[in-house]
Every structure is written in C-alpha cells, then in structure tokens.
Amino acid sequence: MPFSISKDEIMETIHMVQDENLDIRTITMGVNIQDCRGENGKITGEKIYNKVVKSAGNLVKTGHDIEREYGIPIINKRISVSPVSMVGDGLPADDMIIIGRYLDKAAHEAGVNFIGGFSALVHKGFTAGDKALFEALPETLAQTGSVCASVNVGTTKAGLNMTAIAELGGIIKQTARLTKDKDGVGCAKLVVFCNAVEDNPFMAGAFHGAGEAESVINIGISGPGVVLNAVRKYPRIDLGELANVIKKSAFKITRMGELVGRVASSRLGVPFGIVDLSLAPTPSVGDSVAAILKAMGLEEVGTHGSTAALALLNDAVKKGGAMASSYVGGLSGAFIPVSEDEGMISAVTKGALSFDKLEAMTCVCSVGLDMVAVPGDTPEHTIAAIIADEAAIGMINRKTTAVRIIPAPGKEVGDWVEFGGLLGRAPVMAVNKFSSFDFIERKGRIPAPIHSLNN
C-alpha cells in the first residue's frame, strides 16, 4: 500500500504528542478471578496473586514496547479484577483484608501502579460477601498502596440502596481517619458509583465485570491539550462550528486509542474490549478540561454557562470518538476531577466554582464529584447525602455518576490536600452546613424511577 500521508499531517501528529500532551492514558487489563476462590483469605489471595501475575506479566513490557515503537506515550498500565466481594463471598472481613494485601502484592509484581476491583455491587442489597468487603474497606485502603475499591450503590433499573449509602458515609470518614497522615489519601482510592460500568479502564473505579471475558484489554484515551489547542485556534466561530472542530480532534485522539488497543490486544493475545472516550485531564499545565471550557469563552469554570459549555464538549467528544473506534465503552465522557486538573483547582481557589455548581456540571458529563476535598469535620451523614444526590442524578438520567470525596482530616475550607503524582492537589471546598441526618437515617431503598419500566 503506498504511503500517502502529507508532511503537514505528520507534523500535526508530532505536534499533538510533543506540545499538546497527546497520550494514551491507560491500558487496563481486566482479569477474571472468579475461579480463584479458596477456603480462606490466604489461599484465595494466593490464587488471585498467581493468576494476576501470570495473566498480566507482559502487560507493562508490551506497553513500553508499543510506546517506543509507535512514539506515543502510554501513561499507565493497570489491572482490574472481578469484584472481590463475589470471589470472596462467605469469607469474613479479616480474610477480605488479606485478599486486599495479595492484590497489592500482585500489582507490585506486575509493575502496575493501581489494581482495581476491591469492589462490591450492592445496588439492590447486600450479600454476606458485600458486608464483609464493606467492613474491610477502611483497613484495606489504609494498608495497601495500589488497591482501588469501588461500590455500586444504585442503577436506573434497581433504584438506590440508601442503607449502603448511609454506611459508606461512615466508611469514607473512617478511611480518612486511618490515612490522616497523608491527608486522607485512602479515600482517593474509593469510588462510589451509580450505574457502574463493567469495562471502565480508569482508576480508581475499574473492575472486571461479571459479563466480561476471561481477560480483556480496555483503553483509556486522553488529549484535553489537543482539544484545547483546536478550540483556541477558532476564537470567533459559532458553537455549532466549534462542536465540529472538537469532533474532528476527538476522532484523531480516539484513533490513537483504537490503534494501541488493537496492537496491545494482538501482542498480548487478549481480546480487545473497548476504547473509553473520556477526556481525562492531568495536573500538568495545558492538559486540562477546565482550560477547554475557558477557551470556549468562560472567564472561569463554574460561572454561568459552564454546564452548557461542558454539555457541548462532552457530546462532541463522543460523536467524534464513536466514529473512530469499533468498540466504544467504559465511562466515555469528559472528566472534571478537581485535584487532577489545574483549571478546576484555579476555579475553586478564585471562588468561581462552588460545590453545587460542580454537582450541576456532573449532570452533563462523566463522571461525578471526583477528587473533591471537603473539611475533615464534615459529618458522615452529609457525605452520605452528597453521594445520594449524585447517585440520584445518575439513576434518573440513565448515566454513570460517581463520588470520590476526601474529608481531609484536620483541614478546613481554604486549606489544601496534597496527594502528589496523578492524584494532584486540591483546595478544601465548603459543603452545606445544614443537616441531612434524619433523611439518611431512614435508610432502605429509593425505588427505581418510572422510566426504568421500559419492557
């Protein structure tokens, strides 16, 4: 086949990688561990360790090879496993903690920085395994460095499990207390979902769903910097035309994900799952979703118009991306994590972005209240109520929403939490002072909405 790419196109691609931070955010290998059940935590943990290390042993090396040969950075190589509450069902909490330690060890051995799947799906109710995992969550998050946990507390089809949400308020507070010397970093590894997806490649919420194959490769793309520069080139065009510009950039970014996914899948001999079309920011300057919204014409993110601008961006990214990949999945929407995006951080410190506006913005994008630090003395019922609000948005709008909230011990509004690396730093945001105690104490289930009855 003749090579017909022009020099300008070649230079465009190189410019994207070198100056606009285009990269593949993550290659995540999902591994089924449901066959790893043993009679206690130690035996189960050992089986999981062996299987993960065997399945994902070449993941990091293959990632590095592709990175070098194709000249495109692949930032993270990660592993997700089947929800541990299912694998360890029937084991007590102490055994769940032991399994968590083995997961941590497996991640270390495979050379990945995070392993996801210390998870439970409780949208309708608790199994014994779910209860044990809940009990084990704070200790596991405190004792391990790379284990990521997630809990699904609601779906559009099942409604919301408010008993689980009430308990999670306490679990998050307890996790923060146990990791108080590191600003409550344990909470940054726990995501509470509504409508969780089974093929999400992004941490901390990744797990290998029950409907997935034995193992699978899922790709998370990145590229806020590419979209940002495209938007900046056209300061005067109308929003319909701007949507088109974003679509074209999203197409190109996603093609990189599709290519890397196909190559990784064929080299590892593992089926290719999906490309996740999320625009994922990092703390580095220029790699910011908030900066795109500003380039669209907002003085700061959080001002009036932010939700509309984000809706346009999110939708255009999906439309462009959907054409570029054979299998789109995961979360697929723009991320607006506070601590991982310099533009979001700046909006909070300038007073432009409030907690309430952030919640409103999550109605039109993925994924939810992500990496939000709140005062350490925030009551557990308030945290549960924040989760309930966010989960309700997901349930009613048939979308995934999530909460990753850090009640930073000893910190007040205006203070900072520092996690470093990809987790970044965040200013502590104010929450509503009025109590939600009696509402949360009612517990029970919020029934599924009427539009779930679509059979």
Partner 1 sequence: MEEGTRIIITVVGYDRVGIIAGIANILADAGANILDINQTILQGFFTMSMVVDVGKMSVELTDLTRNLKNKGRELGLEINVQHEDIFRFMHRI
For binding to partner 1 (CB under 8 A), which residues are involved? 3-5, 7, 9-14, 18, 65, 68-72, 252, 255-256, 258-259, 262-263, 265-266
Q: Which is nearer to partner 1, 53 or 263 (CB)?
A: 263
Q: Which is nearer to partner 1, 101 or 252 (CB)?
A: 252
Q: Which is nearer to partner 1, 249 or 378 (CB)?
A: 249
CA gap 389, 380 in Å, rounded: 14
CB of 329 to partner 1, least distance (A): 19
CB of 295 to partner 1, least distance (A): 22
CB of 272 to partner 1, least distance (A): 9
CB of 1 to partner 1, least distance (A): 8
CA gap 347, 302 in Å, rounded: 7
CB of 249 to partner 1, least distance (A): 11
Q: Which is nearer to partner 1, 4 or 454 (CB)?
A: 4
Q: Which is nearer to partner 1, 16 or 293 (CB)?
A: 16
Q: Which is nearer to partner 1, 257 or 343 (CB)?
A: 257
Q: Which is nearer to partner 1, 60 or 96 (CB)?
A: 60
CB of 72 to partner 1, least distance (A): 6
CB of 269 to partner 1, least distance (A): 12
